[in-house]
Amino acid sequence: MKEAMFYEEAGDRRVRCRLCHHACLIEPDERGICRVRENRGGRFVSLVYGRLAAQAVDPIEKKPLYHFLPGSRAFSIGTRGCNFRCLHCQNCSISQVAAGEVLTDAPLVPPDQLVHCAEASSCACIAYTYTEPTIFYEYAYDTALLAKERGLKNVFITNGYITPEALRHIAPLLDAANIDLKFFREDLYRKVCGARLQPVLDTIRLYHELEVWTEITTLVIPDHNDDDAQLRQIAEFIADLSCDIPWHVTAFYPTYRLTDTAATPASALRHARSIGKAAGLNHVYLGNVDEHSDTLCPNCGTVLIERSMAGHGAIRMKHGKCPECGGALAGVWGGGDQK
């Protein structure tokens, strides 16, 4: 258990959490929406610091990050809890915590041990993922600090609900992020996720401004966000920041509390890709299907990185340069150079 960061006293032993945009006002002995941060008599604490719920060594492409150290491996970690209540959560067994649930039964793995495991696994980075890294911020921050000192990179796989203050604090330690942009309608964000759209848009802009390499993922859900209007708005929002930001449009499969919705057909993803390309995006990738996953030179169309669902393929460039036309490809490549 560790004292939480980004909170303030609110009188009568209540505290106001300032870590995410829910800004929970928490009574003594109560927890916030994430259910892993608790008010202990006016002292706000994290209940999941060091309490690892999931870990694995993954290809960086699985995050998905396609323009960040392709072919490398990520040491992926996560704790219990989340500040969203997504009806289609694929990791609901660890993300959705019951009120008052005991959280100290998870293995205690301190930050230095995580960094050691990442190094021993020949990973290039640590990925804070599976659940929402914002809710285990203190654990992620301390680990990222040690990782950076050891020459490892750090990436967030996130819902984008962190406050500007918290993001600015950790951004110098972050090298990349994949951010979910789930819908482009306020009512759907509230109904499906228990959150709001605007803070996510603001967070994506801030990541980009802070020069943390950013990629965006949209899980395309039939009858929810597969309409042309939302897909076009998402694509145009990304393009307005930079046409070089990769957009991953990914197939949905029925799960958790959204089992009455059909799986996404590949044709819907192809249509989303066409909308993204029409908006000017240079890189629109399809996820959970085995097509349109290669990286092409935006100048001449040469295949620079081959990929398939079976794994990572050939890389036909050096230092982010196309071997045919010499054009630069945006991303973070070997040696950390960003173009």
Q: What CATH number did the domain enclosing 61 receive?
A: 3.20.20.70
Q: Which of 58-72, 260-274, 303-317 has the lowest mean pLDDT?
A: 303-317
Instruction: Give yes or no: residues 304 and 167 share one domain.
Output: no
- What is the average per-residue pLDDT within 324-328? 95
Q: What is the mean pLDDT of residues 224-243?
A: 98
CA distance 32 to 36: 7
> Cα 308 to the chain's mean position, in Å?
21
Strand partners, 15: 9, 26
Rounded to a whole number of angstroms, the CA Rg of the chain reads 20
- Assess contact for 30 and 38: CB atoms under 8 A: yes
* Phi, psi dihedral angles at 229 (to 5 degrees): -60, -50
What's the distance, CA 262 to chain centroid? 24
Cα 332 to Cα 72: distance, rounded to the nearest angstrom: 12
Q: What tokens appear for 56 in the block?
A: 């694995």
Q: What is the tally of structural domains in the chain?
A: 3
189 shares a domain with 233: yes
* Amino acid 338: pLDDT: 45
Interval 40-60 mean pLDDT: 96
**pLDDT of amino acid 319:** 86
Q: What is the pLDDT of residue 312?
A: 67
Q: Are 320 and 329 in contact (CB under 8 A)?
A: yes
Task: Categorize the per-residue pLDDT at 102 as very low, low, confident or very high, splitting at 50, 70 and 90.
Answer: confident
Full 3-state SS string of 196-214: CHHHHHHHHHHHHHCCCEE
Indicate if 192 and 114 belong to the same structural domain.
Answer: yes
Q: Give me the torsion for CA of 119, 123, 128, 131, rounded to 10°.
A: -110
Provide the pLDDT confidence category of residue 332 given band limits of 50, 70 and 90: very high
Return all residues near 280 (Cβ < 8 A) that are at least 6 apart: 239, 243
pTM flag (> 0.85): yes
The reply to whether 40 and 97 lie within a common domain is no
- Between CA 132 and CA 56 the distance in angstroms is 16
Whether residues 220 and 325 fall in one domain: no
Average pLDDT rounded to a whole number, residues 262-271? 97
Residue 171 in 3-state DSSP? helix
Please state the rounded mean pLDDT for residues 287-310: 92
Query: What tokens does 265 get?
Result: 């057909």
The band of 118, judged by pLDDT with boundaries at 50, 70 and 90, is very high
What pLDDT was estimated at residue 318?
A: 85
Mean pLDDT computed over 7-12: 95
105: left (phi over 0), alpha (psi -120 to 50) or beta: alpha
Quick one: average pLDDT of 26-43? 96
Handedness of CA 189, 190, 194, 200 (dihedral sign): positive
Do both 253 and 162 map to the same domain? yes
Query: Are residues 160 and 197 located together in one domain of the fold?
Result: yes
As beta bridge partners, residue 255 has 258
Percent of the chain, pLDDT > 70? 97
- Which residues are paired to 286 by β-bridges? 249
Same domain for 336 and 226, yes or no, is no
266 and 316 together in one domain: no
Whether pLDDT at 100 is above 90: no
Whether 277 and 305 share a structural domain: no
What is the pLDDT, as a whole number, of residue 310?
61
Q: Both 113 and 239 in a single domain?
A: yes
Q: Is 99 a residue whose pLDDT tops 90?
A: no
pLDDT of residue 101: 87
* CB neighbours of residue 319 within 10 Å: 11
Same domain membership, residue 135 and residue 20: no
Q: For residue 135, what are the domain limits?
A: 54-289
Flag whether pLDDT at 339 surpasses 60: no
